[in-house]
Amino acid sequence: MANRNLQRIYQQYKRASASTTAARAPGSQGGIIEPGARQPAVYTSPASMDDIMLGPGERGLMLGMTREGKSTLSEVQIDHWYNTYKDADILIIDSKPRFRAEWQLNGLPAAPLYRNWDWGTLVPNSVVIPMKDAESEIRLAWSLRYRIIIAQIQDRSDIGLLDQALKIAYMKRRKRHKLFIYVDELNNFFKVGVKGIQAGTGIIMVITSGGEKNTAFLGAGQRPRNISVESIESMTKLYWFYTPFDEDNKHLRSMDLPLDSIPPASRSYAFLFFDRIHQKKGWARIQPISVKPKDRKGSKGWINYG
């Protein structure tokens, strides 16, 4: 397992450095490059929504303190995936929980499940699974042509069930379908144990499955500190909302983020965007999508601060 991961990371590194050294070639005059030295990367600002949105096969990390806008950005990304990749299956892993499904697996509206909630956003066309037998429930949802599945728990101690659901969705993913997995409250899956940072095997499997081109992963957490180095190394895109801790960018070095990077101010709903593969970096903000189900529209608006 460890060796496979190292090989994978090395392959990713080789691919990334091959494309970047080509882009950084010092011109026809040639130049002196010390053997093995890495040139500082040149980053350009993201220029469109397409630059910002997570693509198939990518791994995205959203960071920021609570109420800075992570879940709202995830709604835009879920909407983007639903509308851009018509063959995409979407799985929302919701341990808080905060997402409202539209349907139950038995065909009834899901609204009564959320009677006592005074929070949460509706995800149109989504189905919530009961989490008694995730494997048959996910299969059933797919055979009923639901494209957005919400797996949620009411009790944080059931987190292992969600980890299991992640693993099942990844391993049983449908041929010729893309898969997009979004994990809200990523930190709930990572624990500091005697041997360092540990996580469920499902989440590690999905995050580090870099070779699987049709599966994309997006996770949201408050701090990078409890997320394993191995996981951060696998990330290709970063969305960094305000966090007050200087040492956070040291953890993000594991995904090649330059050390002088800082996130925008609190409650600006803006984030530092970093794309390691396409070498983009800059501050950005996304217009939230309308949450009223009737006039729900995809988010087209965005502002580039970079």
Ligand X SMILES: Nc1ncnc2c1ncn2[C@@H]1O[C@H](COP(=O)(O)OP(=O)(O)O)[C@@H](O)[C@H]1O
Smaller CB separation from ligand X, 84 or 268: 268
Asked if residue 74 binds Mg ion (CB under 5 A), the reply is no
Smaller CB separation from ligand X, 215 or 243: 243
Q: Are 180 and 206 in contact (CB under 8 A)?
A: no
Smaller CB separation from ligand X, 237 or 285: 285
Among the residues of 156-217, which ranges form H helices? 159-171, 201-207
How many whole angstroms separate alpha carbon 48 and alpha carbon 46? Answer: 6
Applying CB under 6 A, which of residues 90, 165, 179, 286 lies at the interface with ligand X? 286
Asked if residue 66 binds ligand X (CB under 6 A), the reply is yes
The item of Mg ion, ligand X, none sharing an interface with residue 306, based on CB under 5 to 8 Å by kind, is none
Residues 6+ apart with CB under 8 A from 95: 152, 153, 156, 159, 162, 184, 185, 188, 189
Q: Are 126 and 150 in contact (CB under 8 A)?
A: yes
Asked if residue 119 binds ligand X (CB under 6 A), the reply is no
**Closest to 91 (Cα-Cα) out of 63, 128, 120, 60:** 128
Asked if residue 249 binds Mg ion (CB under 5 A), the reply is no
Applying CB under 6 A, which of residues 269, 271, 274, 283 lies at the interface with ligand X? 269
Asked if residue 80 binds ligand X (CB under 6 A), the reply is no
**Binding string, 17-56, against ligand X, x = CB under 6 A?**
----------------------------------------
Minimum CB separation of residue 259 from Mg ion in Å reads 27
Asked if residue 64 binds ligand X (CB under 6 A), the reply is yes
Applying CB under 5 A, which of residues 52, 60, 71, 165 lies at the interface with Mg ion? 71
Smaller CB separation from ligand X, 170 or 190: 190
Return the residue matching tokens 């494309």. Answer: 19
- Terminal-to-terminal C-alpha distance of the chain: 39
Minimum CB separation of residue 155 from ligand X in Å reads 20
The item of Mg ion, ligand X, none sharing an interface with residue 166, based on CB under 5 to 8 Å by kind, is none
Applying CB under 6 A, which of residues 68, 79, 89, 275 lies at the interface with ligand X? 68
Smaller CB separation from ligand X, 109 or 298: 298
DSSP string, 206-243: HHT-TT-TTEEEEEEES-STTS-HHHHHH--EEEE---
How many whole angstroms separate alpha carbon 80 and alpha carbon 299? Answer: 8
3-state secondary structure of 282: strand
The β-bridge partners of 62 are: 220, 239
**Dihedral sign from CA coordinates of 47, 50, 52, 55:** negative
Asked if residue 234 binds ligand X (CB under 6 A), the reply is no
Question: What is the radius of gyration, based on Cα positions, of the chain?
Answer: 20
Applying CB under 6 A, which of residues 69, 97, 219, 221 lies at the interface with ligand X? 69
Smaller CB separation from ligand X, 77 or 228: 77
Q: Which residues bind Mg ion (CB under 5 A)?
A: 70-71
Q: Which residues bind ligand X (CB under 6 A)?
A: 64, 66-72, 269, 285-286, 288
